């Protein structure tokens, strides 16, 4: 029997530590927090000094009972949760819930999972830091107050089931404001002039760019014309060394960014794959904001670089976390064993591992040394100068293994000219212009956020934590505040003026401007909720709200302020504000826009957010006659829809005629336009418009839908028409009384009898709802 019980947060960590400690120690995991405010109740007793009412969630009861049993048996309980605010609170909740004896309880922390670090921690135990616990309670209570007081205001004023919170609402604000910047953006034209030059007496070619850029077509034309009679000569030549440093090792946020850029992963995908790598023991913990590498890791990385890359490539570096609110309970994300260059596993796991491996190695490698040469080329009849830039790598350093990507792919393309070595040139040397090209360009609108660039921005603002970046991104999409959208670009033509030899030609090119795919775009609901919150709760929406409140929590952690005082200061201002806004009698519904009057009825036409999303309304609820409603179509927006477009939506449903004795109608539903025939529905494809579709086209759709349905049915039974074996997205399944059932693996679906099917249905119904996995299997 173990004399000691060690409790850590994660089971994977528990497994590793158990190996170091031997039989006298039993190591268990708390799986994060074991206690929290009730999921659905407010659970804060405001009158009793904001006292939180905690409960152990049902799914943790069994776990807690197990911990309690083992704690009773142990001579000493070591609380080894992370050394940050949340970790301290976990230790305290364990202490309280397990009813631990102070004489037989120790709080320990270690910064890396090595035998010496853990033994050292055990040699140096301390008490639970109650100030740090209080700072966590303040954080928890504040977030609950903000979320649970603000959200109901939105239900009342805008639409049910919406949500607001300290983190998510600011994330939405960033996206909404970026979209407003884009809408207000006016692109300006300029002319970029590049030339291909040849130093006299050589056949070398040099690419050079004019600086500054030219403002308009007239200037560009004048410049190119001037070039026909100009003499070009080499002016100043400057050679300077340039160095580049490697990026620091990965944190959660930078891993999410690089995996998005280099591998095309979503942030949720990155975290899932990283979790697998962590559980398999390939990488260190993946939710971290620390840039630190353990001394042991640095040792093995050095060895790896010296042995396999070269001693001159080694440069040991210490990185310091600069992001606000970093708590550094873990290491940076790195391979647990750097000598392992490749791992066994799926394609995604291999790719992500390779990325982490390279980044980690590169972070301890030497700077890359470059030599950049700038050559000015003067023009006899103009004040501007061309510049040719050459860059040669003198020592590749970390670039040998890894190079960080940037979000801005345009700038990379524009500077491509400056790569490589320049031919030998000397000041005063004459040059010939082989070709001069002036191209009309346009300034770029601000970029929309991607999931990863939003995470980066949130981290910069100190909002959210490594464990919440991915869930926050999911939440704002699930609430339909933002969506990954596609923006079709606008075609745009641009002018190119070229001088070749002595001949000037002009032509027009075309490109697509402002196209975007997979970027985060606010929905109508997102914009309206954001504007509402900003108008009535500006302090919560302030980008610095979290930073300011964190400063106060720091004071609580240092024992300079009581946590309830800090909450009281906030609540006495916030709560009256909530009450006031909640009781506000608004003249219009929030976000409503009046489009005009319906020419047919003379009634008012308006758009707003309804119970089920954006809608158009003819008439008002005050009228004696009931108003008419219609949902907006995909791609339409409350902020931009016109009266004509709105009225078109009421041309549905349209009756086309009869087919096989049933009426055929067209309408627009939740999932877009559809044809209804009797009780059957068929979606109308994009090529056909519901306004113009004919009866024949509709019948064609109905027929092809029938064909598809026929393919879907694998088997039916004469004795029971309700029982069907169908072919769906995930394979063959059984449909019975509007419910679906999966078929056991390895069954031949064709051979199923009605009895077989009924048995599968019955088994499913009898099966316990939640399979509580037996401890026997868990132990193994």
Partner DNA sequence: CAGTGAGCGAGCTTCCGCTTGACTT
Q: Which residues are marked as active site?
A: 285
Read off the DSSP letter of residue 245: P
Which one of 152, 235, 345, 518 is in contact with DNA (CB under 7 A)? 152
Is the dihedral angle over the CA atoms 664, 667, 669, 672 positive or is it negative?
A: positive
Name the minimum Å distance from CB 634 to DNA: 11
Q: Which stretch binds DNA (CB under 7 A): 116-124, 220-228, 552-560, 612-620?
A: 612-620
Which one of 17, 77, 86, 677 is in contact with DNA (CB under 7 A)? 86
Q: Which stretch binds DNA (CB under 7 A): 411-419, 510-518, 533-541, 737-745?
A: 737-745
From its phi and psi, is residue 145 left (phi > 0), alpha (psi between -120 and 50) or beta? Answer: alpha
Which one of 729, 745, 776, 780 is in contact with DNA (CB under 7 A)? 729
Measured at the alpha carbon of residue 671, what is the angle toward residues 665 and 676, in degrees to the nearest 5?
20
Q: Which is nearer to DNA, 168 or 523 (CB)?
A: 168
Is the dihedral angle over the CA atoms 569, 575, 576, 578 positive or is it negative?
A: positive
Map the footprint of DNA across residues 166-205, applying CB under 7 A.
166-169
d(CA 26, CA 17): 10
683 binds DNA (CB under 7 A): yes
Q: Which is nearer to DNA, 37 or 581 (CB)?
A: 37
730 binds DNA (CB under 7 A): yes
Map the footprint of DNA across residues 740-769, applying CB under 7 A.
740-742
Q: Which is nearer to DNA, 146 or 605 (CB)?
A: 146
Which one of 327, 387, 445, 639 is in contact with DNA (CB under 7 A)? 327
736 binds DNA (CB under 7 A): no
Tokens representing 614 are 């954006």
Which one of 712, 722, 759, 762 is in contact with DNA (CB under 7 A)? 712
Which one of 249, 386, 733, 752 is in contact with DNA (CB under 7 A)? 733
Q: Which is nearer to DNA, 199 or 466 (CB)?
A: 466
Name the minimum Å distance from CB 11 to DNA: 5
d(CA 447, CA 73): 59
Name the minimum Å distance from CB 714 to DNA: 12
Q: Which is nearer to DNA, 31 or 442 (CB)?
A: 31
At a CB cut-off of 8 Å and minimum separation 6, what does 726 contact?
712, 713, 714, 732, 733, 734, 735
151 binds DNA (CB under 7 A): yes
Q: Which is nearer to DNA, 91 or 425 (CB)?
A: 91
Q: Which stretch binds DNA (CB under 7 A): 72-80, 228-236, 257-265, 609-617?
A: 609-617
d(CA 513, CA 491): 6
Which one of 40, 507, 585, 780 is in contact with DNA (CB under 7 A)? 40
Tokens 């109308």 map to which residue?
684
Q: Are 13 and 112 in contact (CB under 8 A)?
A: no
Q: Are 672 and 682 in contact (CB under 8 A)?
A: no
Tokens 């028409």 map to which residue?
721
Q: Which is nearer to DNA, 395 or 741 (CB)?
A: 741
Name the minimum Å distance from CB 573 to DNA: 19
Q: Which stretch binds DNA (CB under 7 A): 153-161, 236-244, 379-387, 592-600?
A: 153-161
Could you report how far apart the first and last alpha carbons of the chain are, in Å?
A: 18
Strand residues in 413-572 grouped as ranges (E): 430-442, 482-487, 490-500, 503-513, 516-522
Q: Which stretch binds DNA (CB under 7 A): 31-39, 307-315, 333-341, 567-575?
A: 31-39
Name the minimum Å distance from CB 82 to DNA: 6
Q: Which is nearer to DNA, 186 or 773 (CB)?
A: 773
Name the minimum Å distance from CB 158 to DNA: 10
Which one of 2, 321, 475, 477 is in contact with DNA (CB under 7 A)? 475
Q: How many CB atoms lie within 10 A of CB 369?
A: 16
Tokens 């152990």 map to which residue?
56
164 binds DNA (CB under 7 A): yes
625 binds DNA (CB under 7 A): no
d(CA 666, CA 649): 12
Instruction: Show the binding pattern over residues 638-677: x = contacts DNA (CB under 7 A), - = does not.
Output: ------------------------------xxxxxxx---
Q: Which stretch binds DNA (CB under 7 A): 32-40, 220-228, 379-387, 596-604?
A: 32-40
Read off the DSSP letter of residue 398: G
Q: Which is nearer to DNA, 293 or 630 (CB)?
A: 630
Read off the DSSP letter of residue 426: -
d(CA 566, CA 141): 11
3-state SS of the chain: helix, strand, coil percent to 5? 40, 25, 35
Query: HSE on the CB side for 469, CA within 13 Å?
Result: 33
Name the minimum Å distance from CB 683 to DNA: 5
Q: Which stretch binds DNA (CB under 7 A): 38-46, 98-106, 215-223, 314-322?
A: 38-46
480 binds DNA (CB under 7 A): no
Name the minimum Å distance from CB 149 to DNA: 7
Q: Which stretch binds DNA (CB under 7 A): 499-507, 553-561, 566-574, 736-744?
A: 736-744
d(CA 392, CA 745): 60
Q: Which is nearer to DNA, 39 or 503 (CB)?
A: 39
270 binds DNA (CB under 7 A): no
d(CA 684, CA 178): 34
Name the minimum Å distance from CB 514 to DNA: 25
Map the footprint of DNA across residues 331-370, applying CB under 7 A.
none
Q: Which stretch binds DNA (CB under 7 A): 65-73, 188-196, 309-317, 605-613?
A: 605-613
36 binds DNA (CB under 7 A): yes
At a CB cut-off of 8 Å and minimum separation 6, what does 388 contact?
197, 206, 207, 208, 209, 374, 375, 377, 422
Q: Which is nearer to DNA, 144 or 385 (CB)?
A: 144
Which one of 69, 120, 155, 409 is in contact with DNA (CB under 7 A)? 155
Count of positions on this chain that bind DNA (CB under 7 A): 88
Measuring CA to CA, which residue among 721, 466, 611, 545 is closest to residue 164?
A: 545
Q: Which is nearer to DNA, 8 or 368 (CB)?
A: 8
Q: Which is nearer to DNA, 109 or 375 (CB)?
A: 109
Which one of 716, 728, 753, 763 is in contact with DNA (CB under 7 A)? 728
Q: Which residues of 113-143 are buried (b: 16+ CB within 10 A; e: fewer)?
A: bbeebbeebbeeeeebbebbbbbbbbbbbbe
d(CA 292, CA 389): 38
d(CA 760, CA 467): 40
Tokens representing 663 are 């009426």
C-alpha torsion angle, residues 728, 730, 731, 736 (rounded to 10)? -60
* 182: exposed, middle or buried (Cβ count in 10 Å: 0-12, 13-18, 19+): middle
d(CA 603, CA 619): 5
Which one of 199, 248, 335, 466 is in contact with DNA (CB under 7 A)? 466
Name the minimum Å distance from CB 389 to DNA: 45
Instruction: Show the binding pattern over residues 120-149: x = contacts DNA (CB under 7 A), - = does not.
Output: --------------------x--xx-xxx-
Q: Which residues of 385-409 are buried (b: 16+ CB within 10 A; e: fewer)?
A: bbbbbbeeeeeebbbbbbebeeeee
R_g over Cα of the chain: 33
Which one of 55, 279, 414, 558 is in contact with DNA (CB under 7 A)? 279
């Amino acid at each position: 029997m173990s004399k000691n019980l060690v409790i850590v947060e994660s089971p994977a960590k528990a497994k590793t530590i158990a190996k170091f400690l031997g039989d006298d120690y039993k190591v268990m995991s708390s799986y994060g927090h074991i206690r929290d405010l009730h999921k659905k109740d407010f659970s804060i007793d405001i009158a009793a000094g904001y006292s939180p009412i905690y409960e152990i969630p049902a799914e943790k009861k069994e776990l807690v009972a197990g911990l309690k049993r083992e704690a009773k048996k142990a001579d000493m309980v070591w609380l080894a949760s992370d050394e940050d605010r949340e970790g301290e609170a976990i230790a305290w909740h364990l202490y309280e819930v397990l009813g631990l004896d102070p004489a037989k309880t120790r709080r320990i922390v270690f910064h890396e999972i090595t035998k010496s670090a853990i033994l050292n921690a055990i040699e140096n135990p301390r008490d639970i830091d109650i100030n740090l616990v209080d700072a966590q309670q303040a954080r928890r209570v504040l977030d609950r107050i903000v979320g649970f007081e603000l959200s109901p205001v939105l239900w009342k004023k805008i639409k049910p089931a919406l949500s607001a919170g300290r983190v998510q609402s600011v994330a939405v604000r960033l996206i909404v404001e970026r979209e407003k910047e884009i809408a207000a953006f006016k692109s300006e034209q300029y002319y970029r002039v590049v030339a291909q030059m040849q130093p006299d007496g050589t056949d070398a070619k040099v690419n050079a760019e004019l600086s500054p850029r030219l403002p308009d077509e007239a200037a560009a034309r004048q410049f190119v014309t001037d070039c026909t009679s100009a003499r070009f000569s080499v002016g100043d030549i400057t050679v300077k060394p340039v160095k580049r440093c490697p990026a620091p090792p990965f944190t959660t946020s930078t891993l999410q960014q690089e995996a998005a850029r280099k591998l095309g992963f979503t942030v949720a995908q990155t975290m899932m794959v990283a979790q697998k790598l962590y559980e398999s023991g390939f990488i260190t913990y993946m939710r971290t904001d620390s840039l630190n590498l353990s001394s042991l890791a640095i040792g093995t990385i050095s060895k790896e670089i010296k042995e396999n890359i070269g001693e001159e490539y080694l440069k040991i570096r210490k990185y310091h976390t600069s992001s606000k609110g970093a708590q550094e309970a873990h290491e940076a994300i790195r391979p647990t064993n750097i000598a392992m260059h490749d791992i066994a596993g799926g394609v995604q796991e291999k790719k992500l591992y390779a990325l982490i491996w390279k980044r980690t190695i590169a972070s301890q490698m030497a700077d890359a040394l470059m030599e950049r040469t700038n050559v000015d080329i003067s023009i006899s009849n103009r004040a501007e100068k061309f510049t040719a830039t050459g860059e040669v790598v003198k020592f590749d350093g970390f670039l040998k293994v890894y190079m960080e990507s940037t979000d801005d792919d345009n700038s990379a393309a524009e500077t491509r000219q400056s790569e490589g070595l320049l031919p030998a040139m000397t000041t005063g040397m004459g040059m010939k212009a082989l070709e001069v090209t002036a191209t009309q360009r346009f300034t770029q609108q601000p970029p929309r956020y991607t999931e990863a660039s939003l995470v980066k921005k949130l981290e910069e603002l100190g909002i959210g934590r490594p464990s919440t970046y991915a869930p926050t991104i999911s939440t704002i999409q699930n609430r339909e505040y933002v969506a990954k959208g596609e923006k079709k670009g606008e075609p745009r033509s641009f002018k190119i003026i070229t001088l070749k030899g002595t001949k000037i030609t002009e032509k027009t090119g075309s490109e697509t401007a402002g196209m975007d795919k997979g970027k985060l775009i606010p929905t109508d609901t997102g914009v309206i909720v954001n504007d509402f919150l900003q108008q009535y709760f500006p302090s919560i929406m302030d980008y610095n709200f979290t930073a300011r409140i964190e400063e106060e929590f720091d004071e609580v952690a240092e024992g300079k302020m009581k946590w309830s005082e800090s909450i009281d200061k906030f609540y006495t201002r916030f709560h009256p504000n909530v009450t006031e806004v909640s009781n506000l009698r608004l003249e219009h519904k929030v976000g409503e826009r009046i489009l005009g009057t319906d020419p047919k009825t003379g009634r008012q036409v308006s758009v707003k957010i309804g119970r089920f999303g954006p809608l158009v309304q003819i008439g008002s609820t005050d009228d004696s006659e009931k108003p008419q409603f219609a949902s907006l179509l995909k791609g339409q927006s409350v902020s931009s829809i016109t009266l004509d477009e709105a009225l078109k939506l009421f041309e549905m449903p349209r009756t086309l005629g009869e087919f096989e004795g049933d009426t055929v109608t067209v309408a627009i539903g939740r999932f877009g336009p559809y044809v209804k025939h009797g009780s059957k529905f068929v979606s109308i494809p994009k090529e056909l418009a519901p306004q113009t579709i004919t009866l024949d086209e509709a019948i064609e759709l109905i027929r092809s839908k029938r064909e598809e349905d026929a393919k879907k049915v694998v088997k039916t039974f004469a004795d029971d028409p309700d029982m069907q074996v169908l072919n769906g997205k995930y394979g063959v399944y059984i449909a019975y009384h509007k419910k679906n059932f999966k078929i056991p693996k390895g069954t031949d679906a064709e051979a199923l009898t009605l009895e077989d099917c009924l048995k599968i249905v019955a088994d499913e119904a009898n099966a316990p709802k939640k399979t509580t996995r037996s401890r026997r299997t868990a132990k193994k």
